[in-house]
Amino acid sequence: MFLLRMAFRNIFRQKRRTIITGSSIVGGFALAVIFIGWADGSYNGIIDQFTRTRLGHIQIHERAYLDRPSLYRTVDDPAAVGAVLDGMGEVESWAPRVYAAGLAGFGDKSAGARIVGIDPRRESRTTRFDRTIVEGRALGGPEAREAVLGRGLAEILGADLGDEIVLLSQGADGSIAEDLFTLVGVASSGDDMTDRTTCYLPLATAQEYFVLGDKVHEIAIVVTRLSRVRDLSEDIAAELADPDLSVAPWQVFAKSFYDAMQADKAGMWVILVVVVIIVAVGVLNTVLMAVLERRREYGLLKAIGTRAGRIVRLVVLEVLILSAAAMVLGAGIGLGVNAVLAGHGISLGSEFTYGGMVFDTMRSEINLRSFAIPAVTVFVAAVLVSLFPALKASRTEPAQTMRMH
Amino acid sequence: MDKGTDHLIVTESLAKDYFDGGAPVPAVRGIDLTIEAGEFTAIVGPSGSGKTTFLNLISGLDAPTGGKVWLKDKLLSGLSGNELSDFRRDHIGFIFQAYNLIPVLNVRENIEYIMLLQGVPEKERRERVGEILKEIGMAGFERRFPPKISGGQQQRVAIARAMVSRPELILADEPTANLDSGIGAELLDMMRDLNRRTGMTFLFSTHDPMVMDRADRVVTLHDGRVAKDDRRART
Ligand SMILES: Nc1ncnc2c1ncn2[C@@H]1O[C@H](COP(=O)(O)OP(=O)(O)OP(=O)(O)O)[C@@H](O)[C@H]1O
Ligand SMILES: [Mg+2]
């Protein structure tokens, strides 16, 4: 208590210095809060868009499908899985999919194709598939003999809307599957590789074509909150209680994308280092000056029987009190700025693309970690940096300092 | 190695060389002195004769380069840093020539400080501070801060701070040098009065003839050695 009182009064004693030290902490802290909130907002925006518009946040497959995809590894009762998902409040929507490889041909041209069976209504609700249609229209009813081609694939085949495409593949029963489909639309997902290879069919049409019955290969799920994806995956798995199924969050089924995002997030460490430097310079300089000016006081305290450790605590405590106050202020500023950036976002002026997705506005995110990480950093930095002046103060030689008249 | 004696302070061939750019500067060159409990002793001598150095060796603020100091039978050189801190806190009261008080602590807190370190309960601290403030004629100044009181008043508070925890020894290095002679005399009379009533031992250095006149014993240093040791009858 007494030490606290001394520390407080010492802080108010040197207003100018307190303001300088304090504002460097306020500035560094607010900067970090804003930066992390902004970075999280941007990355989560990218992640959300990427997963939401293509893969889904969570996917359900047969246990081994992700490692070794095969026509035969199926979710056998998608309706039952769907019923479970419909009962979960945090599941926004879900879409079943069938995947197989085949050969697409038109006229004398042919190309390898990834044939994807989708439920047009569900897919549009879940991944906004309808928005990727750049020519023609989306697939009609689930049993229509229609196809949508990726733009690149349509170009390779030289097929136009209304043309009849031949698809050649193999059914689950081993039979040769060969059929004609009317090209009703061209899709551009933003990813050229996907668009050069993908052929979309209505789900029931694809199931019949591949002799799959009601089975599907994948159920893609979009949830209401990105941050809940991992927990929700576990909840879904528990709810399904089916050892033959795997429920994977996007971090697992899109591991390379996740790794790329993690690597980009490393930028946060750079800003933290900058903050540490700002705090270090602001604190070290002023505290060291204060300590040198007060040498006689520390000398006196030591002479009359104060242990060195108590003086260390006194100096560190001063810095801690100042840091805490400065962080409250910095948090206020950071919160204000992030609230504005989260609400309005920043228009990038021109669009930019990342992994084939187009962005024109970036938003901040207000989350706990954008405050907690800088707070811990500033505290640790302030304590470590004040330790040097504090030790210096504690080593004051009373015999020498009390001689200075 | 502790000494079983009744003396409060014993020094044996006490010596201190400072090193100024490699060359030793002898400040104290072998002092053998005993101080008894209850004495009111002045250390005098010309500037540079080693008075401050001697006092610093006795309190352990400085380490000797030769010889030994026993205080209350404790060999000071045998104590660790924290032990020495605690020893000073519990057994020695300090009065310096100036800058005796912590500017961010008010008069009460300055006086309380050592008792706080000692863990004296709040109620007792308050009582003792009240008593001693009356004794030094500064009742009512509890909440003043040091920069807001006169130099003489600051020295009185320093005396109160030094005495309030009832140490056996009060060390004062030129306690009156910064004061007008009238105020210095007053202060000195106060210290001697406290010495008589409490039996606390006072050891101080001074240039001031007025201070010497009031001492029971005057030890004169010259070039780091004891040149004269006068005991007088108590007046
Ligand atoms: N840190 C130091 N380094 C070198 N020499 C020192 C140091 N401190 C003191 N001295 C020297 O030691 C000698 C004794 O000094 P000391 O301060 O003990 O004398 P003093 O009797 O207290 O003098 P004064 O009456 O001026 O206070 C002097 O010659 C002084 O110059
Ligand atoms: Mg001196």
Q: Do the bridges between strand A198-202 and strand A146-150 make them parallel or antiparallel, or are there none, so unpaired?
A: antiparallel
Query: What is the band of A348 on the pLDDT scale with cuts at 50, 70, 90?
Result: low
To 10 degrees, what angle do helices A229-240 and A78-86 make?
Answer: 120
What distance in Å separates the CA atoms of residue A52 and residue A305, rounded to the nearest whole number? 67
What distance in Å separates the CA atoms of residue A59 and residue A235, rounded to the nearest whole number? 13
Rank A19-23, A193-197, A256-260, B11-15 by mean pLDDT and report only the highest.
Answer: B11-15
Would you say B83 and B9 are in contact if contact means Cβ atoms under 8 Å apart? no
For the stretch A97-127, pLDDT in tens is 999 999 999 989 999 999 999 998 898 888 8
Query: What is the band of A356 on the pLDDT scale with cuts at 50, 70, 90?
Result: low
DSSP B51-103: HHHHHHHHHTSS--SEEEEEETTEEGGGS-HHHHHHHHHHHEEEE-SS--S-T
Ligand 1 near B100 CB (within 6 A):
no
Would you say B170 and B162 are in contact if contact means Cβ atoms under 8 Å apart? yes
| Residue nearest (by alpha carbon) to ligand 1 atom 11 | B27
Mutation target vs A (from B25, B83, B99; most A CBs, 10 A cutoff): B99
Distance of CA A125 to the CA centre of its chain: 22
| Residue nearest (by alpha carbon) to ligand 1 atom 5 | B18
Structure tokens at A312: 């260390």
Partners of residue B93 in chain A, C-beta under 8 Å: 304
**Does the structure show a pLDDT above 80 at A261?**
no
What spacing in Å lies between the alpha carbon of B36 and ligand 1's midpoint? 26
| Cβ within 8 Å, pair B102-A308 | no
| Residue nearest (by alpha carbon) to ligand 1 atom 25 | B47
Is this model's pTM higher than 0.90 or not? Answer: no
Structure tokens at A93: 């929507």
Partners of residue A2 in chain B, C-beta under 8 Å: 109, 116
H-run or E-run covering B9: strand B9-20
ipTM computed for the complex: 0.93
C-alpha separations of A328 from A24, A306, A341, B141 in Å: 13, 32, 20, 37
Q: Does A391 touch chain B (CB under 8 A)?
A: no
Q: Name the closest ligand to CA B16.
A: 1
Partners of residue B117 in chain A, C-beta under 8 Å: 305-306, 310
CA closest to A302 among chain B residues: B85
What distance in Å separates the CA atoms of residue A66 and residue A73, rounded to the nearest whole number? 10
H-run or E-run covering A286: helix A267-293
**What residues does A200 pair with on adjacent strands?**
A116, A148
Would you say B204 and B41 are in contact if contact means Cβ atoms under 8 Å apart? yes
What distance in Å separates the CA atoms of residue A114 and residue A96, rounded to the nearest whole number? 16
What distance in Å separates the CA atoms of residue A280 and residue A273, rounded to the nearest whole number? 10
Distance of CA A13 to the CA centre of its chain: 46
Q: Name the closest ligand to CA B173.
A: 2
Torsion of CA A7, A9, A11, A17, to 10 degrees: -140
DSSP B164-176: TT--SEEEEESTT
C-alpha separations of B103 from A5, A81, B100 in Å: 13, 75, 9
Q: If you count them, how many residues does chain B have?
A: 235
C-alpha separations of A7 from A295, A300, A312, B152 in Å: 15, 16, 11, 27
For the stretch B20-68, pLDDT in tens is 888 899 999 999 999 999 999 999 999 999 999 999 999 999 999 999 9
What distance in Å separates the CA atoms of residue B176 and residue B189, rounded to the nearest whole number? 12
Question: How many CB pairs lie under 8 A apart between chains A and B?
Answer: 66
For the stretch B183-203, pLDDT in tens is 888 888 888 998 999 899 999
Chain B residues bordering chain A (beta-carbon distance below 8 Å): 52, 56, 59, 61-62, 81-82, 85-90, 92-94, 96-100, 102-105, 109, 113-114, 116-117, 161, 173
Q: Which of B93, B95, B61 is nearest to B79 (CA)?
A: B61
Ligand 1 near B18 CB (within 6 A):
yes
Would you say B35 and B202 are in contact if contact means Cβ atoms under 8 Å apart? no
Q: Does A349 touch chain B (CB under 8 A)?
A: no
Q: Which residue has the tokens 């206020």?
A: A332
| Cβ within 8 Å, pair B117-A302 | no
The confidence score (pLDDT) of residue B209 equals 78
Structure tokens at B75: 């060999």
| Residue nearest (by alpha carbon) to ligand 1 atom 12 | B27
**Does the structure show a pLDDT above 80 at B235?**
no
CA closest to B161 among chain A residues: A304
What is the separation, in whole angstroms, between the first and last Cα of chain A?
32
What distance in Å separates the CA atoms of residue A263 and residue A233, rounded to the nearest whole number? 24
pLDDT above 90 coverage of chain B, percent: 64
Would you say A295 and A401 are in contact if contact means Cβ atoms under 8 Å apart? yes
Would you say A247 and A233 are in contact if contact means Cβ atoms under 8 Å apart? yes
| Cβ within 8 Å, pair A303-B82 | no
The confidence score (pLDDT) of residue A353 equals 59
What distance in Å separates the CA atoms of residue B180 and residue B184, rounded to the nearest whole number? 6
For the stretch B168-179, pLDDT in tens is 999 999 888 888
Distance of CA B10 to the CA centre of its chain: 16
Would you say A301 and B102 are in contact if contact means Cβ atoms under 8 Å apart? yes
C-alpha separations of B198 from B94, B120, B169, B190 in Å: 17, 20, 11, 12
